[in-house]
Amino acid sequence: MIRSYQDKTPVIGEGSYVDESAVVIGDIVIGQNSSVWPLSVIRADINIIRIGDNTNIQDGSVLHVTHCGDYSPDGAELHIGDQVTVGHKVLLHGCRIGNRCLIGMGSIITDNAVIEDYVMVGSGSLVPPGKTLESGYLYLGNPVLQKRPLSAKEIDYLSYVAEHYAQLIRNY
């Protein structure tokens, strides 16, 4: 379901797919050939959400933001780059995710965290508020810790899995 909120209507890029059971509300821009899978909620009612091209938001994920106010003067927008894979049941809240990243199933990334390009976040990880994850590494844990550099094969996989989901859209 794609819904407007206070005169802001989601903009869905050409070739993108939003499952009919997903909920997409408010000031959202989703790039081209991106996908939002069943039972995901993307709610931009109090700040903006921007999602790049060839990015997939998998089943049951929740994406939200923080408003500007006394306790958070700038609020926390949510920005997701190109060719990002957001695994099943991920919670993204007011953070920034670079290009060609994989956010493992069940992970939580909190306000003002920054995930640079080419990062893998292992399943079930927690990224605390304001933490930056450096490009080219695998991170894992609660709270998340840098585990090791990504291999060349893993870096290639980041684009591969994003392209796989862009192709899967055609079947739906």
- CB count within 10 Å of CB 129 equals 14
Q: Are strands 120-121 and 137-141 parallel, antiparallel or unpaired?
A: parallel
- CB count within 10 Å of CB 121 equals 28
In whole angstroms, give the CA distance from residue 162 to residue 76.
Answer: 26
Q: pLDDT 10s per residue in the chain (172 long)?
A: 999 999 999 999 999 999 999 999 999 999 999 999 999 999 999 999 999 999 999 999 999 999 988 888 888 999 999 999 999 999 999 999 999 999 999 999 999 999 999 999 999 999 999 999 999 999 999 999 999 999 999 999 999 999 999 999 999 8
Domains and CATH numbers, the chain: 2-171 (2.160.10.10)
Half-sphere exposure of 147 (CA within 13 A, CB side): 14
pTM: 0.96
Dihedral sign for Cα 161, 44, 126, 22, please. Answer: negative
In whole angstroms, give the CA distance from residue 160 to residue 71.
Answer: 40
Specify the DSSP class assigned to residue 69: B
